Structure 1
Amino acid sequence: MSPPMSGVKDLMKVSGLPQLFFWSMLGRLNVSALPIALSLMLVRWSGSYVVVGLVGCALTLGQAAAGPLRGRAADRGSTGRLLLITGVGYTAGLALIVALAARAPASGWPVVVAVALVTGLSAVPVSQISRAVWPRIVGSELTPALYTAEATASEVVTTTGPLLASLVIAVAGPYWAVGVTALLTLVSTLVFAAALRRVGLGGEPLPQRVERLAQRSLLAEGPFVRVVVISMLLTAAIFAVNLSVVAWTQNIGRPALAGVLTACWTAGSLAGGFALSTFARGLPRALRVAGMAAGMAALAVLLPPVLGTVPLWLIVVVLFLGGTALAPTLAATYEQVAEASPEDRRAEAFGWVATATAGGGALSAALTGVLLDAYGPALPVAAGAALVAAALVLTVYGRTPSAEPVEEVTA
């Protein structure tokens, strides 16, 4: 057992972790970069936003359906082999979509939808594999700090992806943007797999772990289901706020502000994640979730129809302050997932979480649209705050016991 460590500096000292962390983040860049590039490419090809929506839906459904299966495959076999197969499959699927959009007539859109579904099934499980192995790499002492660092870095990736796609689109067009995204995914996945092997985590699992996988479904475990529901509620709330902010800027005739306001929320999340990992690592999970709920509630009060006109600077301040709880809250959910699942089934566990959050995001997007049309932006944001409040209740009254002791890998 390594000596007690704390904070970002101590994470940097763990052998092989900085490189592994970097490539795991780069391997997720496609999640935020692809939507804008793929949407622009498809609308230029088909001239129809219906086609864009169908292809995007098929891609998301494939990703959501395969999440637990990919996680279980990672738990049962070689993560390196799984990353290679999915990386090649996902890249080939995107390349085929580009080729069809470049050469096939627009009437061939059903084929593109089918290819998108298969491509989604091949989505690379970098995020769930990395979240599953973090506790084994750093041990229980540093696991909370590492999950906080991941949640914070994920905000950077979420912001950087669209910027990268927009840059490539401006220089070479949307077809190239999709191609660059696919290539970047393949390269980062392969390097991530190699980095896993260097720390001793890219090969076959121990035989006894494969035998233990005959256990009943994780969804039969109450503590785990509770954490999955918490993750789904939080994701739905985040979607509600993002869409409502965009709608508000459209309503006031200043759509360009949407990116600025979203960036303020992200900046607050980055600040909150840095502060938590550096100064306040012991902050209770319930307080983090409560802070997120309070931030959303405060924002709801400032938006129409509750208030008709408010200074822009006040919206910016509330978004930033509310955002400070975002990364710490997400980090808390990662910790809860790790605690609620056996070590040899954590990749599967994070796969179920990915499926639940994808479903929560899709449902939230649909309901938020209805609420925005009927009542304006205040109500969907308030609904988001209510969802986080429900997550708070589950957090407070459903504490999750640790599934088993954390093993530590010394590199």
Structure 2
Amino acid sequence: MNLGAYRPVLADRDTRNALLLGFLIRVPMWAGAVILTLHVVTSLGRSYGEAGLVTAASTVAVAVSGPWRGRLLDRIGLRRTVGPSLVVQVVCWSVAPWVGYLPLVAFAALAGLFVVPTFSILRQVIIRSVPSEQRRTALSLDSSATELSFMAGPAIGVWLATSWQTGWALLVCELTSVAAGFVLWLVNPPLTSGSADASPERGPHDEQGEGARGEAVAAPTVPAGERAPRSVRGLVTVPVAAVLLAAACSTLVLSGTDVSIVAALRSFGATGSIGWVLALWGAGSLVGGLVYGAWHRSLSVFWLLGGLAATTAPVALALGVPSFAVLITVSGFLCAPTITATVEQLSRLVPERFRGEMMGWHGSAMTAGSAVGAPVAGFAIDHGGWPWGFAVVSGLGVLIAATGWLASRRGGRVAASRTAPGPGAAPAAPPVGVAPTDSERGLPAASMGD
């Protein structure tokens, strides 16, 4: 482990700005989500189930918009994508706090459909700003900053909602998020390494792809008698789909754990401990992300997912709040590394000119996992008690991780048996979930890039 690896990453101005902007944008985003629920329950006098429907409408809209907004980033650039979103967000959240329940559902869905794709934008900026060998470290910092914002945002949201009228708290929080998005529009950071601005132009080499510094890179060839990997629009190949499945499963485990934490602490009669226990869970993820970023090599997506799921299962054995707090902190250790690994691996599997759309698909996969994990854990808790919430999502995570790992191993053996490279032949691609080394790319470390 080399903590000095963070020094050159933080020395880059674009990376520092992206990390700071990410934190400033995400804090009001998390706070707004909490305030929205409290607004429906307290100010509108509705049930928690109805509050959940508002959140669900917004979540589904965000999931649908992810690939679409990402494709716009690839095609027309940051400003032309974000500008209309800012207008829609201002209109929606200026009106939504003062309307009834059904109009609020509609405004929340519309705002979700035109959400500013901040996660996609900032991760593209970070990937573009650092050399390939520093990518994992930079993305780990982004994951750690996300954990910090997650620890701060809900607490600020609860404080605002209890100090002010929820309508005003919702208005201030959402417009603060829009203001942070406007700063992103104003800064207009470049998203790709092959262009000087954030609006990529298609050149004569687009069909082949671009290298780290904009040079043309020949499209990969397929040996005679071999079939190219099946794909959707040349983008979602089988390896990419496997990583997206791992991303979805990671949030399935995390959202199921979230619900199970609340159920467990209510069972212990310690509802007041929910806030600081969730903070411990986030702190474990924060430490894990920093350790992974300083680690000497990348790890398989499926190994990390399996570890995340396996360390979640022992939480079901807790006998009280103290042991529960210790076990949940340990289970958080692999949260940020797993998500970081999915982003890093996708950035290596997908050409740069499609990266915005792929980050959108990644966000949609994680949103879908979250949407599945919570009800699955809830069903298990209703029928077997809170320990079964942890056990079920852990079992699903281990199963999917093992299946993905075995499939990647089998794919590697099949590829090795079918290809017999001669002198000067290109080296075989690494299995899914394992980042290629410098030697596998056939390039010295000094020339590495995306």
Shorter-normalised TM range: 0.7 to 0.9
**Cα deviation per residue 1:263-318 (whole Å; 9 max; x = unaligned)?**
1111111111222223x242523553343223112212x15xxxxxx243222222
| Structure 2 Cα separation of the partners of residues 249 and 298 of structure 1 | 16
Offset of 1:202 from its aligned partner?
5.1
Cα 1:402–1:312 shift into 2, 3 Å = closer
Deviations 1:187-223 (A, max 9, x none): 2112223334378765310213896499943664111
TM-score normalised per structure 1:
0.86
Question: Which among 360, 364, 374 is matched to residue 351 of structure 1?
Answer: 360
Looking at structure 1, the residues matched to 406 and 333 of structure 2 have their Cα atoms a distance apart, in angstroms, of 20
Which residue does 1:390 correspond to in 2?
399
Give the conservation status (yes or no) of the 8 Å contact 1:144–1:281.
no
Superposition deviation, residue 63 in structure 1: 0.8
Do the aligned residues in 2 keep the contact of 1:76 with 1:205 (CA within 8 Å)?
Answer: yes
- Structure 1 residue 208 and structure 2 residue 206: aligned? no
1:165 aligns with 2:157: yes
Instruction: Give yes or no for contact 2:96–2:103 (8 Å, CA) kept in 1.
Output: no
SS of residue paired to 2:270: coil
- Paired position in structure 2 for 1:103: none
Within the alignment, does 1:291 sit opposite 2:307 as a pair? Answer: yes
- Residue in 2 aligned with 1:99? 98
The residue identity in structure 2 corresponding to 1:354 is G
Matched residue, 2:287: 271
For 1:234 and 1:327, the matched residues in 2 are separated by 10
SS of the residue corresponding to residue 98 of structure 2 reads helix
State the partner residue of 2:264.
248
CA distance in 2, matches of 1:63, 1:19: 25
Tell me if 1:341 matches 2:350. yes
> Deviations 1:13-59 (Å, cap 9, x if unpaired)?
11332122210232223442122211222233431125423322221
| 1:74 and 2:58 are equivalent in the alignment | no
Q: Which residue pairs with 1:307 in the alignment?
A: none
What secondary structure does 2:130 align onto? helix
The amino acid that maps onto 2:321 is L
Q: Distance in 2 between matches of 1:281 and 1:174?
A: 47
Which residue does the alignment assign to 2:145?
153
- Range that drifts further, 250-259 or 80-89: 80-89
Q: Relative to structure 2, which stretch is displaced further, 65-74 or 170-179?
A: 170-179
Q: Within 5 Å, which residues of 2 pair with 1:2-401?
A: 7-49=5-47, 50-100=49-99, 106=100, 109-197=101-189, 203-208=198-203, 212=207, 216-217=232-233, 220-278=236-294, 280-282=295-297, 284-285=299-300, 286-300=302-316, 302-303=317-318, 310-393=319-402, 394-395=404-405, 397-398=407-408, 399-400=431-432
> Cα distance, 1:144 vs. partner?
0.6
Aligned residues of 2:9 and 2:134 also touching (Cα < 8 A)? yes
In structure 1, distance between residues paired with 2:185 and 2:141: 20
Contact 2:23 2:146 in 1 (8 A): yes
In 2, the alpha carbon distance for the partners of 1:201 and 1:126 equals 20
Distance 2:26 2:39 in 1: 21
What is the total number of aligned residue pairs between the two structures? 390
312-321 vs 154-163, greater mean Cα deviation: 312-321
Deviation at 1:356, TM superposition (A): 1.8
Hey, which of these two has a bigger chunk of helix by percent?
A: 1
Partner Cα separation in structure 2 for residue 148 and residue 233 of structure 1: 19
Q: Which amino acid aligns with 1:179?
A: L
Shift of 1:66: 0.7
Counterparts of 1:222 and 1:163, CA distance in 2: 41
SS in 1 for 2:132: helix
Distance 1:407 1:188, change over 3 A: farther
- In structure 2, C-alpha distance between the alignment counterparts of 1:213 and 1:99, rounded to whole Å: 52
Change (3 A) 1:259 1:126: same
- Is this contact kept in 1: 2:14–2:129, CA < 8 A? no
Offset, 1:185: 1.2
Task: Give me the whole-angstrom Cα distance separating, in 2, the residues matched to 1:176 and 1:213.
Answer: 52
Uncovered stretches (5+) of structure 1, i.e. residues with no partner: 101-105, 304-309
Q: How far 1:362 sits from its partner (Å)?
A: 1.3
Asked whether the 8 Å contact 1:272–1:326 carries over to 2, the reply is yes
CA distance in 2, matches of 1:266, 1:337: 24
Distance 2:234 2:50 in 1: 36
Larger radius of gyration: 2
Letter in 2 for 1:284: L
Instruction: Judge which range, 337-346 or 186-195, deviates more.
Output: 186-195
- Tell me by how many angstroms 1:181 deviates: 1.6
Kept after mapping to 2: 8 A contact 1:34/1:165: yes
In structure 2, what is the Cα distance between the partners aligned to 1:402 and 1:320?
Answer: 28
Given that residues 72 and 347 in structure 1 are in contact (C-alpha distance below 8 angstroms), is that contact kept between their aligned partners in structure 2? Answer: yes
TM-score (ref. length: structure 2): 0.79
Structure 1 246/194 Cα, relative in aligned 2: closer, same or farther at 3 Å?
same
1:67 and 1:131 map into 2 onto residues whose CA distance is: 14
CA distance in 2, matches of 1:37, 1:189: 19
* Greater displacement, 198-207 / 70-79: 198-207
Report if aligned partners of 2:251, 2:369 keep a CA contact under 8 Å in 1.
yes
Counterparts of 1:79 and 1:17 in 2: how far apart (Å)? 17
Give, as a single letter, the amino acid of the residue that structure 2 aligns with 1:40. Answer: L
Cα distance in 2 for residues equivalent to 1:64 and 1:198: 24
Corresponding letter in the other structure for 2:304: R
C-alpha contact 2:235 2:354 (8 A) present in aligned 1 = no
Q: Which deviations, in whole Å up to 9, do the C-alpha atoms of 1:77-101 show, x marking residues without a partner? A: 121221222123223212220132x
Deviation of 1:235 after TM superposition, in Å, equals 0.4
Where does the alignment leave 5 or more consecutive residues of structure 2 unmatched? 210-230, 409-430
Distance 2:128 2:15 in 1: 11
Q: Deviation above 6 Å: which 4+ runs of structure 1?
A: 198-201, 401-407
8 Å contact 1:194–1:202 — kept in the other structure? no
